[in-house]
């Protein structure tokens, strides 16, 4: 995806194969040296890079080729690639396989090691049985179990380390493979030497180091990609809200009517195109209504469950759902300009942006690996010098008659050097910080909270006042029935009968208030169907009407069942003289809606009812009137 601003352009690139902050620093520093590149920002967590460049000197193809020459995979980010970039399934499978291979062979190594440690503590050091001169059963088992882990469990570490070294870089994989390879090669070497020399005892080896290290590091990589995958689902869900296709209309200039229609990919929609959206369809782009009326569900953007009426001249949002009327639209914002795309872009940029602590971590991690390797070499040499100067500093109980001085010194020096390599993994610096930013912004987006980058996220601990958006945050975000008030004697209109009639009428509506009333009736009456409704009419913004019949006989009795008694409120039920007469054919005319709807059907709302309605409306509650004839 490329953007132009005069000679300066910006390109977004998906980068594969990055494992730590050293990779990020290596790519950024190398690209900045390239002629024509003005600025580079690479995010490990999202696997993306944004490069600003002078279009007269270089271009996206040269930039991608440069990244690929460094040993990383690179491709241009485009609309259809977003979902693929967010998919971590391959990485999850890869590291899960590496973890289980390491675990299957590494677990017995740990068990053997712990067994010998416990046995030595309980019974002291005993002579080790040898299968061959210089080869003990313990070392043979270690070798058999360690070799598959080193080859198969560490395969992906070797690949990444090779790519880094090939381009004169050193990342965390280099550190891991140095530690495990040195431990493995040293152990094999001393074992072969002992067997060739036919020593009377088997030497001390470090075969347990590679399995243990690879088990925990591969587990960390697996969990890391699982976390990334779950977090990226927030963006994937946002992307899935926009339809793939749109219905393009051709308008006859003479009559002004639609002369033809055809389905096109939503990416091909241009500003000014005339589009048609049928009831139940999604708005393909941000557009202006030029014909028709309907209600639109914009809850994906606003969080409000109540549909918004749309008339000629109103703006509709891409991804919102057209509920009941066909609309003819004129596209106003397409592609990356739509509100939905801007939200996705905002979250992506937030996950790509670096918090101050992350910039510090990246700068440290860039020099971390070379420094650690140097420290490991220094440690090795220092202990060799100390050992030859004073062997008692290494082994207070050293007995020259039974043990070789050189063997003791080298064994201890290698142990300390390998320990430095093993424990100096920069995961906390290079992985934890960007992953925390990604998880934080992703989970926020999933819950309707847009965090504009790592820096705002880092400063949240300084917040003293929080202002909440009520709907969907402090509340459920969906309406529910809180009270039922009747203005007739319950002997004439039993509560269960009233709920059955209203539930039957509302069952034909898609309005959120209708769903709330239906769910309440089902819960109170313990049934999913109550009767039949025909002649159904619904006017958005006013109400509905219909004729209800075939009401189940169990709902026509005057008694109120236990399931419905909970909705009665003695203070909210006013008993009046009968307003409903027994229907001879069991058919009832029902009107449900607001004041205007009742007046339209010549049902006057009394002053008393109006006062009670105002009391509830002042509390922010929606009052629905029901009239049954």
> 559: pLDDT confidence band, cut at 50, 70 and 90?
very low
Residues 282, 152 share a domain: no
In 122-257, at which residue ranges do the beta strands (DSSP E only) sit? 130-132, 135-136, 245-251
Q: Are 328 and 258 in contact (CB under 8 A)?
A: yes
Residue that is last in its domain, among 386, 407, 433: 433
Residues 143, 112 share a domain: yes
* Radius of gyration for the chain, computed over Cα atoms and rounded to the nearest angstrom: 36
Find the CATH number of the domain harbouring 534. Answer: 3.40.1110.10
Residues 364, 286 share a domain: no
Residue 429 CA from chain centroid, whole number: 22
| 328: nearest Cα among 359, 287, 270 | 287
Give the containing element (helix H, strand E) for 297.
Answer: strand 294-297
Residues 360, 223 share a domain: yes
Distance CA 223, CA 225 (A): 6
The sign one gets for the Cα dihedral 23, 26, 27, 28 is positive
Distance CA 370, CA 376 (A): 10
Residues 598, 507 share a domain: yes
Asked, for residue 228, whether it belongs to a domain, the answer is yes
Asked, for residue 467, whether it belongs to a domain, the answer is no
Percentage of the chain with pLDDT > 70?
78
Q: For residue 41, what are the contacts with CB-CB under 8 A and spacing of at least 6?
A: 28, 49, 50, 352, 353, 354
Distance CA 341, CA 177 (A): 42
**Strand 327-333 vs strand 315-316: parallel, antiparallel, or unpaired?**
unpaired
Residues 364, 346 share a domain: no
pLDDT of residue 575: 38
Residues 202, 150 share a domain: yes
Helix orientation angle between 21-32 and 356-389, rounded to the nearest 10 degrees: 110
Asked, for residue 454, whether it belongs to a domain, the answer is no
Q: Are 243 and 317 in contact (CB under 8 A)?
A: no
Residues 211, 102 share a domain: yes
Burial class (CB in 10 A: 0-12, 13-18, 19+), 331: buried
Distance CA 517, CA 133 (A): 86
Asked, for residue 278, whether it belongs to a domain, the answer is yes
Helix orientation angle between 356-389 and 172-196, rounded to the nearest 10 degrees: 20
pLDDT of residue 284: 92
In the β-sheet with 321-322, what is the strand arrangement from edge to edge?
308-310, 294-297, 321-322
Find the CATH number of the domain harbouring 41. Answer: 3.30.70.100
Residue 382 has pLDDT above 90, yes or no: yes
Does residue 469 have an active-site annotation?
A: yes
Asked, for residue 255, whether it belongs to a domain, the answer is no
Is pLDDT larger for residue 423 or for residue 453? 423
Percentage of the chain with pLDDT > 90?
8
> 113: pLDDT confidence band, cut at 50, 70 and 90?
confident
Burial class (CB in 10 A: 0-12, 13-18, 19+), 559: exposed
Give the containing element (helix H, strand E) for 385.
Answer: helix 356-389
Is residue 162 classed as helix, strand or coil in its secondary structure? helix
Give the containing element (helix H, strand E) for 30.
Answer: helix 21-32
**Given 65, 267, 336, 469, which residue is catalytic?**
469
Question: What's the angle, vertex CA 277, arms to CA 272 and CA 281, rounded to 5?
Answer: 135
Residue 563 has pLDDT above 80, yes or no: no
Between 71-85, 250-264, 455-469, 508-522, the lowest mean confidence (pLDDT) is in: 71-85
Residues 226, 92 share a domain: yes
pLDDT of residue 10: 82
Is residue 324 classed as helix, strand or coil in its secondary structure? coil
Q: Which domain holds residue 217?
A: 85-236+355-433
Residue 120 has pLDDT above 80, yes or no: no
Q: What is the mean pLDDT of residues 56-75?
A: 86
Q: What is the mean pLDDT of residues 581-600?
A: 76
Residues 362, 308 share a domain: no
- Concatenated DSSP letters of 217-282: HHHHHHHHHHHHHHHHHHHHHHHHTS-SEEEEEEE-TTT-SEEEEEEEEGGG--TT-EEEE-TTPB
| Domain total in the chain | 4
> 48: pLDDT confidence band, cut at 50, 70 and 90?
confident
Backbone angles phi, psi at 33, to 5 degrees: -80, -15
Is residue 590 classed as helix, strand or coil in its secondary structure? strand
Asked, for residue 475, whether it belongs to a domain, the answer is no
Q: Are 27 and 21 in contact (CB under 8 A)?
A: no
Residues 407, 322 share a domain: no
Residues 265, 151 share a domain: no
pLDDT of residue 379: 92
Asked, for residue 464, whether it belongs to a domain, the answer is no
pLDDT of residue 28: 87
> Model pTM?
0.56
Asked, for residue 312, whether it belongs to a domain, the answer is yes
pLDDT tens per residue across span 241-271: 778 889 999 888 777 787 888 888 888 888 8
Instruction: Kindly report the average pLDDT of the chain as a whole number.
Output: 78
Is pLDDT larger for residue 277 or for residue 3? 277
> 565: pLDDT confidence band, cut at 50, 70 and 90?
very low
């Amino acid at each position: 995806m490329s953007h132009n601003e005069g000679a300066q352009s910006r390109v977004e690139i998906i980068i594969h194969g990055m494992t730590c902050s050293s990779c990020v620093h290596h790519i950024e520093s190398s690209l900045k040296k390239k002629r024509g590149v003005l600025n580079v920002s690479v995010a490990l967590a999202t696997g993306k890079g944004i490069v600003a460049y002078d279009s007269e000197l270089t271009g996206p193809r040269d930039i991608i080729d440069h990244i690929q020459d460094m040993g990383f995979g690179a491709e241009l980010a485009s609309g259809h690639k977003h979902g693929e970039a967010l998919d971590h399934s391959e990485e999850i499978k890869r590291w899960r396989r590496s973890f289980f291979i390491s675990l299957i062979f590494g677990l017995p190594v740990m068990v053997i090691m712990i067994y010998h440690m416990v046995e030595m503590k309980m019974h002291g050091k005993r002579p080790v049985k040898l299968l061959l001169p210089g080869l003990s059963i313990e070392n043979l088992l270690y070798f058999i179990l360690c070799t598959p882990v080193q080859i198969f469990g560490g395969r992906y570490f070797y690949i990444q380390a090779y790519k880094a070294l090939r381009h004169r870089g050193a990342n965390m994989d280099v550190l891991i493979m140095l530690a495990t390879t040195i431990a493995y090669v040293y152990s094999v070497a001393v074992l072969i030497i002992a067997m060739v020399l036919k020593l009377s005892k088997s030497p001390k080896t470090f075969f347990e180091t590679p399995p243990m290290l690879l088990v925990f590091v591969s587990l960390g990589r697996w969990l890391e990609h699982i976390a990334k995958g779950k977090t990226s689902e927030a963006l994937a869900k946002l992307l899935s809200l926009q339809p793939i296709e749109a219905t393009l209309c051709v308008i006859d200039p003479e009559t002004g009517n639609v002369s033809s229609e055809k389905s096109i990919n939503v990416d091909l929609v241009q500003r000014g195109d005339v589009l048609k959206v049928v009831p139940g369809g999604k708005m393909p782009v941000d557009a202006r209504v030029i014909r028709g009326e309907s209600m639109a569900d914009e809850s994906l953007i606003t969080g409000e469950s109540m549909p918004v009426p749309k008339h000629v001249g109103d703006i509709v949002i891409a991804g919102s759902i057209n509920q009941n009327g066909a609309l003819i639209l004129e596209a106003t914002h397409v592609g990356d300009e739509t509100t939905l795309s801007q939200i996705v872009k905002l979250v992506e940029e937030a996950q790509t942006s670096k918090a101050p602590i992350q910039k510090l971590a990246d700068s440290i991690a860039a020099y971390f690996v070379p420094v650690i390797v140097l420290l490991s070499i220094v440690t090795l040499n220092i202990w060799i010098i100390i050992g030859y100067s004073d062997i008692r500093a290494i082994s207070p109980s050293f007995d020259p008659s039974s043990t070789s001085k050189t063997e003791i010194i080298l064994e201890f020096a290698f142990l300390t050097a390998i320990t430095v390599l093993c424990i100096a993994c920069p995961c906390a610096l290079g992985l934890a910080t960007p992953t925390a930013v990604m998880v934080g912004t992703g989970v926020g987006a999933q819950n309707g909270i847009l965090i504009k980058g790592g820096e705002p996220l880092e400063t949240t601990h300084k917040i003293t006042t929080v202002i909440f958006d009520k709907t969907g945050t402090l509340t459920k975000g969906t309406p529910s029935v809180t009270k039922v008030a009747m203005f007739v004697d319950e002997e004439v209109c039993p509560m269960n009968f009233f709920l059955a009639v209203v539930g039957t009428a509302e069952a034909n509506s898609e309005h959120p208030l209708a769903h709330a009333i239906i769910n309440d009736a089902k819960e109170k009456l313990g049934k999913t169907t109550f009767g039949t409704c025909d002649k159904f009419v619904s006017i958005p913004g006013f109400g509905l009407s219909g004729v209800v019949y075939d009401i189940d006989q169990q709902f026509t009795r005057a008694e109120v069942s236990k399931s419905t008694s909970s909705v009665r409120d003695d203070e909210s039920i006013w008993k009046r003289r009968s307003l409903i007469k027994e229907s001879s054919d069991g058919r009832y005319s029902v009107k449900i809606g607001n004041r205007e709807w009742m007046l339209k059907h010549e049902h006057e709302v009394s002053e008393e009812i109006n006062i009670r309605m105002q009391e509830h409306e002042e509390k922010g509650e929606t009052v629905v009137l029901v009239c049954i004839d």
